[in-house]
Amino acid sequence: MKAQVTLTVPEAKALIAEGIAQLPEVEQALRAGRVLLKGGTTVAAVANRLVGCDLRISGRISPRGAKASKGDSVLPHSILIEKGSVKNIDGCFGQTVESLRRDDVAIIGANALDSHGRTAILLGRPLGGTPGQGLAGLMAQGCRVIIACGLEKLIPGSIADAIAAAGIYSSDWSMGMSAGLAPLAGAVITEQKALELLTEVKCTAIGAGGIAGAEGATTLVIEGQPEPVTQAVKAVLEVKGAAHAGCPVSLEECRAGSPACGVHQSCAWRMEKGESLTWRLR
Protein backbone atom coordinates (compact mmCIF):
# COMPACT_ATOMS: atom_id res chain seq x y z
CA MET A 1 0.00 0.00 0.00
CA LYS A 2 1.17 3.53 -0.79
CA ALA A 3 0.13 6.97 0.41
CA GLN A 4 1.41 10.40 -0.62
CA VAL A 5 1.63 13.20 1.95
CA THR A 6 2.96 16.75 2.11
CA LEU A 7 4.43 18.35 5.22
CA THR A 8 5.07 22.07 5.59
CA VAL A 9 8.22 23.11 7.45
CA PRO A 10 6.48 23.59 10.85
CA GLU A 11 4.56 20.34 10.38
CA ALA A 12 7.78 18.49 9.59
CA LYS A 13 9.36 19.88 12.77
CA ALA A 14 6.41 18.70 14.84
CA LEU A 15 6.70 15.23 13.29
CA ILE A 16 10.45 15.16 13.93
CA ALA A 17 9.72 15.98 17.57
CA GLU A 18 7.27 13.09 17.77
CA GLY A 19 9.82 10.71 16.26
CA ILE A 20 12.57 11.82 18.65
CA ALA A 21 10.24 11.42 21.64
CA GLN A 22 9.77 7.75 20.70
CA LEU A 23 13.48 6.92 20.50
CA PRO A 24 14.45 4.31 23.15
CA GLU A 25 17.56 6.27 24.14
CA VAL A 26 15.48 9.41 24.73
CA GLU A 27 12.88 7.51 26.74
CA GLN A 28 15.66 5.96 28.84
CA ALA A 29 17.40 9.30 29.41
CA LEU A 30 14.12 10.89 30.49
CA ARG A 31 13.63 8.10 33.04
CA ALA A 32 17.11 7.68 34.42
CA GLY A 33 19.47 10.17 32.80
CA ARG A 34 19.48 13.67 31.40
CA VAL A 35 18.43 15.28 28.13
CA LEU A 36 20.04 18.51 26.92
CA LEU A 37 18.20 20.59 24.32
CA LYS A 38 20.05 23.37 22.50
CA GLY A 39 17.48 25.91 21.28
CA GLY A 40 16.21 26.43 17.74
CA THR A 41 12.77 26.15 16.18
CA THR A 42 13.04 22.40 15.54
CA VAL A 43 14.40 21.69 19.01
CA ALA A 44 11.73 24.00 20.45
CA ALA A 45 9.18 21.61 18.94
CA VAL A 46 10.98 18.78 20.71
CA ALA A 47 10.87 20.71 24.01
CA ASN A 48 7.14 21.25 23.57
CA ARG A 49 6.67 17.53 22.96
CA LEU A 50 8.85 16.31 25.84
CA VAL A 51 8.08 18.76 28.65
CA GLY A 52 5.52 21.22 27.26
CA CYS A 53 7.75 24.29 27.47
CA ASP A 54 8.72 26.99 24.97
CA LEU A 55 12.31 27.90 24.15
CA ARG A 56 13.70 31.31 23.29
CA ILE A 57 14.73 31.50 19.65
CA SER A 58 17.93 33.41 18.90
CA GLY A 59 19.23 33.11 15.33
CA ARG A 60 16.97 32.37 12.40
CA ILE A 61 16.79 32.68 8.61
CA SER A 62 14.01 35.01 7.43
CA PRO A 63 13.32 36.80 4.14
CA ARG A 64 15.70 39.49 5.44
CA GLY A 65 18.56 37.00 5.83
CA ALA A 66 20.38 35.61 8.87
CA LYS A 67 18.76 37.48 11.74
CA ALA A 68 18.63 37.48 15.53
CA SER A 69 15.78 38.06 17.95
CA LYS A 70 14.43 41.59 18.35
CA GLY A 71 14.74 41.45 22.12
CA ASP A 72 15.40 39.18 25.02
CA SER A 73 12.84 36.81 26.49
CA VAL A 74 12.85 35.50 30.04
CA LEU A 75 12.54 31.97 28.67
CA PRO A 76 15.66 29.82 28.22
CA HIS A 77 17.30 29.10 24.89
CA SER A 78 18.79 25.81 26.08
CA ILE A 79 17.54 23.50 28.82
CA LEU A 80 18.46 20.34 30.69
CA ILE A 81 15.75 17.83 31.56
CA GLU A 82 16.57 15.63 34.55
CA LYS A 83 14.05 13.39 36.29
CA GLY A 84 11.14 15.51 35.13
CA SER A 85 12.61 18.86 36.14
CA VAL A 86 13.68 21.50 33.62
CA LYS A 87 16.75 23.69 34.19
CA ASN A 88 17.74 26.81 32.26
CA ILE A 89 21.37 26.24 31.21
CA ASP A 90 21.93 29.43 29.20
CA GLY A 91 24.44 30.64 31.77
CA CYS A 92 26.21 27.29 32.18
CA PHE A 93 25.98 25.58 28.79
CA GLY A 94 29.64 24.57 28.66
CA GLN A 95 29.66 23.25 32.22
CA THR A 96 26.49 21.27 31.55
CA VAL A 97 28.00 19.73 28.42
CA GLU A 98 31.05 18.78 30.47
CA SER A 99 28.84 16.89 32.92
CA LEU A 100 27.11 14.71 30.29
CA ARG A 101 27.82 10.99 30.26
CA ARG A 102 27.27 8.16 27.78
CA ASP A 103 23.66 7.43 28.76
CA ASP A 104 22.65 11.09 28.50
CA VAL A 105 21.21 12.58 25.33
CA ALA A 106 21.85 15.93 23.66
CA ILE A 107 19.43 17.21 21.01
CA ILE A 108 20.50 19.97 18.65
CA GLY A 109 19.22 21.40 15.38
CA ALA A 110 21.13 21.95 12.13
CA ASN A 111 21.05 24.52 9.34
CA ALA A 112 22.58 22.41 6.59
CA LEU A 113 22.27 18.74 5.61
CA ASP A 114 24.05 17.20 2.63
CA SER A 115 23.24 14.10 0.60
CA HIS A 116 25.69 12.03 2.67
CA GLY A 117 23.81 12.78 5.89
CA ARG A 118 26.41 15.21 7.21
CA THR A 119 25.16 18.29 9.03
CA ALA A 120 26.36 21.68 10.23
CA ILE A 121 25.02 24.58 12.26
CA LEU A 122 25.25 28.30 11.47
CA LEU A 123 26.95 30.46 14.09
CA GLY A 124 26.81 34.26 13.94
CA ARG A 125 28.54 35.37 17.13
CA PRO A 126 32.30 35.16 17.76
CA LEU A 127 33.12 31.66 19.03
CA GLY A 128 29.50 30.77 18.30
CA GLY A 129 28.22 32.59 21.37
CA THR A 130 27.59 30.70 24.61
CA PRO A 131 26.27 27.48 22.97
CA GLY A 132 28.96 27.52 20.30
CA GLN A 133 31.67 27.36 22.93
CA GLY A 134 30.26 24.03 24.13
CA LEU A 135 29.61 22.41 20.75
CA ALA A 136 33.07 20.94 20.22
CA GLY A 137 32.94 19.45 23.69
CA LEU A 138 29.47 18.10 23.02
CA MET A 139 30.69 16.19 19.97
CA ALA A 140 33.57 14.72 22.01
CA GLN A 141 31.76 14.06 25.29
CA GLY A 142 30.55 10.55 24.48
CA CYS A 143 26.88 11.20 25.13
CA ARG A 144 24.28 10.38 22.49
CA VAL A 145 23.79 13.29 20.12
CA ILE A 146 20.57 13.59 18.12
CA ILE A 147 20.38 16.12 15.31
CA ALA A 148 16.85 17.31 14.59
CA CYS A 149 16.92 18.49 10.99
CA GLY A 150 14.15 18.86 8.44
CA LEU A 151 14.70 18.03 4.79
CA GLU A 152 14.26 21.70 3.92
CA LYS A 153 17.86 22.07 5.18
CA LEU A 154 19.19 19.82 2.39
CA ILE A 155 21.90 21.62 0.39
CA PRO A 156 23.54 20.76 -2.95
CA GLY A 157 27.20 19.93 -2.63
CA SER A 158 28.99 18.90 0.53
CA ILE A 159 29.06 20.16 4.09
CA ALA A 160 32.84 20.46 3.75
CA ASP A 161 32.48 22.87 0.82
CA ALA A 162 29.82 24.86 2.68
CA ILE A 163 32.03 25.19 5.76
CA ALA A 164 34.90 26.41 3.59
CA ALA A 165 32.70 29.05 1.94
CA ALA A 166 31.12 30.42 5.13
CA GLY A 167 32.69 32.50 7.89
CA ILE A 168 31.69 35.11 10.44
CA TYR A 169 34.45 37.44 9.27
CA SER A 170 34.74 36.31 5.64
CA SER A 171 31.82 38.20 4.04
CA ASP A 172 32.13 41.87 3.09
CA TRP A 173 28.34 42.33 2.77
CA SER A 174 25.60 40.20 4.24
CA MET A 175 21.81 40.12 4.42
CA GLY A 176 21.74 39.93 8.19
CA MET A 177 24.67 38.70 10.25
CA SER A 178 27.56 37.05 8.45
CA ALA A 179 27.68 33.45 9.69
CA GLY A 180 30.08 30.56 9.78
CA LEU A 181 29.31 26.85 9.86
CA ALA A 182 30.37 24.31 12.48
CA PRO A 183 30.09 20.58 11.68
CA LEU A 184 27.89 18.33 13.80
CA ALA A 185 28.00 14.59 14.36
CA GLY A 186 25.17 12.42 15.60
CA ALA A 187 22.00 10.57 14.63
CA VAL A 188 20.11 12.73 12.13
CA ILE A 189 16.32 12.66 12.44
CA THR A 190 14.39 14.14 9.53
CA GLU A 191 10.64 14.00 8.95
CA GLN A 192 11.28 11.05 6.61
CA LYS A 193 13.24 9.19 9.29
CA ALA A 194 10.67 10.13 11.96
CA LEU A 195 7.86 8.43 10.05
CA GLU A 196 9.98 5.32 9.61
CA LEU A 197 10.69 5.32 13.35
CA LEU A 198 7.05 5.77 14.31
CA THR A 199 5.69 3.07 12.01
CA GLU A 200 7.07 0.15 9.99
CA VAL A 201 6.99 1.90 6.64
CA LYS A 202 9.39 3.04 3.95
CA CYS A 203 9.33 6.76 3.16
CA THR A 204 10.69 8.34 0.00
CA ALA A 205 10.91 12.07 -0.63
CA ILE A 206 9.56 12.75 -4.11
CA GLY A 207 9.34 16.54 -4.11
CA ALA A 208 10.37 19.66 -2.24
CA GLY A 209 9.02 23.18 -2.02
CA GLY A 210 5.66 24.68 -2.81
CA ILE A 211 3.63 27.89 -2.67
CA ALA A 212 1.02 29.56 -0.46
CA GLY A 213 2.70 28.57 2.80
CA ALA A 214 4.21 25.33 1.55
CA GLU A 215 7.58 26.89 0.68
CA GLY A 216 10.19 24.42 1.94
CA ALA A 217 7.61 21.64 2.21
CA THR A 218 8.43 17.98 1.64
CA THR A 219 6.24 15.58 -0.31
CA LEU A 220 6.71 11.95 0.67
CA VAL A 221 5.48 8.58 -0.54
CA ILE A 222 4.81 6.13 2.30
CA GLU A 223 5.00 2.41 1.48
CA GLY A 224 4.17 -0.64 3.56
CA GLN A 225 1.44 -2.90 4.83
CA PRO A 226 -2.01 -1.29 5.14
CA GLU A 227 -1.97 -0.92 8.93
CA PRO A 228 1.48 0.75 9.23
CA VAL A 229 0.70 3.05 6.29
CA THR A 230 -2.57 4.00 7.95
CA GLN A 231 -0.71 4.75 11.19
CA ALA A 232 1.83 6.87 9.32
CA VAL A 233 -0.84 8.92 7.57
CA LYS A 234 -2.61 9.44 10.90
CA ALA A 235 0.68 10.68 12.38
CA VAL A 236 0.94 13.19 9.55
CA LEU A 237 -2.65 14.31 10.03
CA GLU A 238 -1.95 14.85 13.75
CA VAL A 239 0.62 17.56 12.96
CA LYS A 240 -1.29 19.23 10.12
CA GLY A 241 -1.63 22.96 10.75
CA ALA A 242 1.28 23.09 13.21
CA ALA A 243 2.86 26.51 13.68
CA HIS A 244 6.51 27.34 14.30
CA ALA A 245 7.56 26.43 17.82
CA GLY A 246 9.36 28.83 20.13
CA CYS A 247 8.58 31.75 22.41
CA PRO A 248 6.43 34.18 20.32
CA VAL A 249 8.31 37.26 21.56
CA SER A 250 11.63 35.78 20.48
CA LEU A 251 10.28 34.99 17.01
CA GLU A 252 10.23 38.75 16.30
CA GLU A 253 13.46 39.49 14.46
CA CYS A 254 16.01 42.20 15.10
CA ARG A 255 16.18 45.59 13.41
CA ALA A 256 19.07 48.06 13.05
CA GLY A 257 20.04 49.27 16.51
CA SER A 258 19.16 46.04 18.30
CA PRO A 259 21.50 44.89 21.10
CA ALA A 260 23.15 42.21 18.95
CA CYS A 261 24.27 44.75 16.33
CA GLY A 262 27.47 45.24 18.30
CA VAL A 263 28.68 41.68 17.71
CA HIS A 264 27.18 40.70 14.35
CA GLN A 265 29.46 41.21 11.37
CA SER A 266 28.86 42.73 7.90
CA CYS A 267 25.09 43.17 8.37
CA ALA A 268 23.78 45.31 5.51
CA TRP A 269 20.63 46.17 7.48
CA ARG A 270 22.77 47.79 10.17
CA MET A 271 24.66 49.80 7.56
CA GLU A 272 21.46 50.97 5.84
CA LYS A 273 19.49 51.71 9.02
CA GLY A 274 16.32 51.35 6.98
CA GLU A 275 13.88 48.94 5.38
CA SER A 276 15.53 48.50 1.98
CA LEU A 277 18.97 47.32 0.94
CA THR A 278 21.48 48.63 -1.57
CA TRP A 279 24.85 47.23 -2.52
CA ARG A 280 27.45 49.25 -0.73
CA LEU A 281 30.47 48.47 1.41
CA ARG A 282 31.60 50.20 4.55
Count of the separate structural domains present in the chain: 1
Domain span holding position 203:
2-251
Q: pTM higher than 0.85, yes or no?
A: yes
Residue 274: burial class (beta carbons within 10 Å; 0-12, 13-18, 19+): exposed
H/E segment holding residue 113: strand 112-113
pLDDT at 282: 62
CB 73 within 8 A of CB 273: no
Q: What's phi and psi for 95, nearest 5 deg?
A: -65, -35
CB 188 within 8 A of CB 149: yes
pLDDT at 211: 97
Categorize the per-residue pLDDT at 274 as very low, low, confident or very high, splitting at 50, 70 and 90.
low
The answer as to whether 273 is a domain residue is no
The answer as to whether 76 is a domain residue is yes
Helix (H, G, I), strand (E, B) or coil at 186: coil
Does residue 131 register a pLDDT over 80?
A: no
For the chain, the average pLDDT equals 93
The answer as to whether 270 is a domain residue is no
Overall average pLDDT of the 223-234 stretch: 98
Cα–Cα distance, 30 to 36 (Å, whole number): 10
The answer as to whether 60 is a domain residue is yes
Cα–Cα distance, 181 to 147 (Å, whole number): 15
Categorize the per-residue pLDDT at 273 as very low, low, confident or very high, splitting at 50, 70 and 90.
low
Overall average pLDDT of the 111-137 stretch: 88
The answer as to whether 256 is a domain residue is no
